[in-house]
A = this chain, B = another copy of it.
């Protein structure tokens, strides 16, 4: 697994190329032989696992239970909800046969034409249809409600243009699907989950997000309302990082899922669904990383601290290793994941560059002289600052430093976003400034026509109507019609 450490394109030169190279150089993922599908490499997967564990714990605290539903969805299921099929049936992987056979011409194997399925099966692009087809059997009375299920799984959407983590044909995600007795309860869960995503993004990923509602155009196919968290990348583009959909009774009606309420009356069930995916990896990478490589938030870094001994011979190494034992023990007590890299086949300089490109938050280097002086060299990845610290109590110092880094990268990203969020009231000004990226707070007349025009003329979209936005009388920057609040417009991934 030789890594080319040098020659990472600079962000200012070509942000997109920097990203693509970084994903590979940091050993996170690579293109596979299958069009649009990636291989998530062990280092990348370790970050995703930390995300999963953290989110899963947060979910379970709110009463979520995990389950598993089939990968393949009968075509007829996908067609039951009218808007949903428009949104998802078009670009998808279709299973039509269930057998291969030897080619009579002796050229390997071919699809057996006699093994054609009566009804085609679709590799799930999302699971509302199969899940609501199942919930029909689970739900009869108000006593069966709520159902709060989630699954961690793979899904597939046949994307034309793919980029690792940001948009791949197959991706990993979680999808929560809830059934409630009342509209109010379902709405409350919808909002609860988008808030949970925001909390995760900010506290663990160090990624500041804006919580808002999508416009009708940008809604999930089949939803009454889609809530979103939107993050700003370093190039000023938006990245939709998680969504939560209030589905009303649409899927309950499509799959005839009713329950007998407390008044003994049949009623359709109220639904919501919510998900985040490996796309979060893209958000994580693009928010914090720099021209030297990845910068990881300590709360999600698989290796939080790397310790590199500097030694000329085995004797020196043995001394350093011995001196470090209580330090390693203390790190273990503190629950901090440490890699002690005493591999003698790689030189320290190579190791430094490797851990830098991999975004390990803190690097300690210690040599024979440090040992004599009772010191250790500390490098923090976020600022690349080096300092000399007292060896005594180093683990506790580093624990505090990790928290400092976590806060610092969040604040840095927040300041960047604040500095690049603009109130603009003139469409002419908007058209000029959108070229430089950023979030634009603008008045919009609320019509899909205007939204469409903005998109066509500027490649920017309405990211959301921010939930914490204040009411403010104004005029649509495009049509001059009245508007009651500003929306966020940006170019997006």
Q: Which residues of chain A have a CB within 8 Å of any CB of chain B?
A: 1-2, 30, 32-34, 37-42, 45-46, 48-49, 65-79, 85, 89-101, 108-109, 111, 120-123, 130, 133-134, 137-141, 143-144, 147, 149, 153-154, 156, 158, 170, 172, 345
Contacts and interface: CB of A to CB of B under 8 A. Distances in A.
A177 to B, nearest CB: 12
10 contacts: A1-B144, A32-B134, A34-B121, A39-B67, A91-B98, A92-B98, A92-B99, A94-B97, A94-B111, A95-B96
A314 to B, nearest CB: 20
A71 B127 CA distance: 17
Given A42-B66, A65-B46, A120-B111, A100 B92 contact: yes
B74 A96 contact: no
Contacts of A98: 91-94, 158
B97 A90 contact: no
Given A96-B94, A109-B79, A130-B33, A40 B65 contact: no
A123 B79 contact: no
Contacts of A78: 100, 109
Contacts of A172: 68
B71 A156 contact: yes
B65 A42 contact: yes
Nearest to A120: B111
Contacts of A45: 65-68
A190 to B, nearest CB: 21
B32 A130 contact: yes
A46 B56 CA distance: 13
A93 B95 contact: yes
A97 B117 CA distance: 13
A109 B89 contact: yes
Nearest to A118: B35
Contact of A42 (B108, B137, B139, B149): B149
Contact of A46 (B66, B79, B99): B66
A94 B92 contact: no
Contact of A109 (B75, B149, B156, B158): B75
Contact of A85 (B34, B42, B108, B123): B108
A75 to B, nearest CB: 7
Nearest first, the 10 A-B pairs at minimum CB distance are A42-B65, A40-B68, A37-B70, A94-B97, A79-B108, A98-B158, A34-B70, A89-B100, A93-B95, A96-B96
Given A1-B138, A97-B94, A99-B90, A69 B30 contact: no
A170 B70 contact: yes
A46 B138 CA distance: 18
Contacts of A143: 2, 345
B158 A73 contact: no
A123 B120 contact: no
Given A85-B108, A92-B100, A123-B123, 5 more contacts: A40-B68, A46-B66, A78-B109, A79-B109, A89-B109
